[in-house]
Amino acid sequence: MSAETASPVWVLDDPRTGTAAQALGIAERLGMPFARLPLSWNWKAHLAALVPHGSLAGLGGPLRVEAENPGPALVISAGSRSAPVALWVKHNFGGRLVHCMRPGLAGWMRRDAFDLLVIPRHDEPPEAPNILPVLAAPNRVSQLKLRQAGEAWAERLAHLPHPRVALLVGGPVRATGMAPALAHRLGRQVAQLAVERGGAVLATTSRRTGGEATDALAAGLSRALNVLYRWGEPGDNPYLGFLACADAIVVTADSVSMISEACATAAPVFAALPELAGPRHRKMLASLFTADQVRPLGDDLSPWPRQRLDEADRVASEIRRRFGFA
Please list the pLDDT of the chain residue by residue as tens digits (326 residues).
344 445 789 999 999 989 999 999 999 999 999 999 999 988 888 777 777 788 888 888 777 665 556 789 999 999 999 999 999 999 988 899 999 998 887 777 788 999 999 999 999 999 999 999 999 999 999 999 999 999 999 999 999 999 999 999 998 877 778 999 999 999 999 999 999 999 999 999 999 999 999 999 999 999 999 999 999 888 889 999 999 999 999 999 999 999 999 999 999 999 999 999 888 899 999 999 999 999 999 999 999 999 999 999 999 999 999 998 86
Strand 74-78 and strand 96-100: pairing? parallel
Closest CA to 183 of 210, 203, 213: 213
Asked if residue 7 lies in contact with residue 35, where contact means CB atoms within 8 angstroms, the answer is: yes
* Cβ atoms within 10 Å, residue 40: 13
Closest CA to 18 of 124, 140, 173, 177: 140
Burial, 318: exposed, middle or buried (Cβ in 10 Å; 0-12, 13-18, 19+)?
middle
Q: Where in the chain is the domain with CATH 3.40.50.2000?
A: 143-296
Residue range 9-140+312-323 in CATH 3.40.50: yes
Integer angstrom CA distances of residue 163 from 166, 190, 245: 10, 12, 10
Integer angstrom CA distances of residue 169 from 11, 181, 249, 261: 29, 14, 11, 13
Residue type, 258: M
Residue type, 116: L
Strand ranges for the chain from DSSP E = 9-13, 34-38, 74-78, 96-100, 116-120, 131-134, 164-169, 200-205, 225-229, 248-252, 269-272, 295-296
Question: Is residue 66 helix, strand or coil?
Answer: coil
What's the whole-model pTM score? 0.91
Closest CA to 99 of 44, 40, 22: 22
Q: What is the CATH number of domain 143-296?
A: 3.40.50.2000
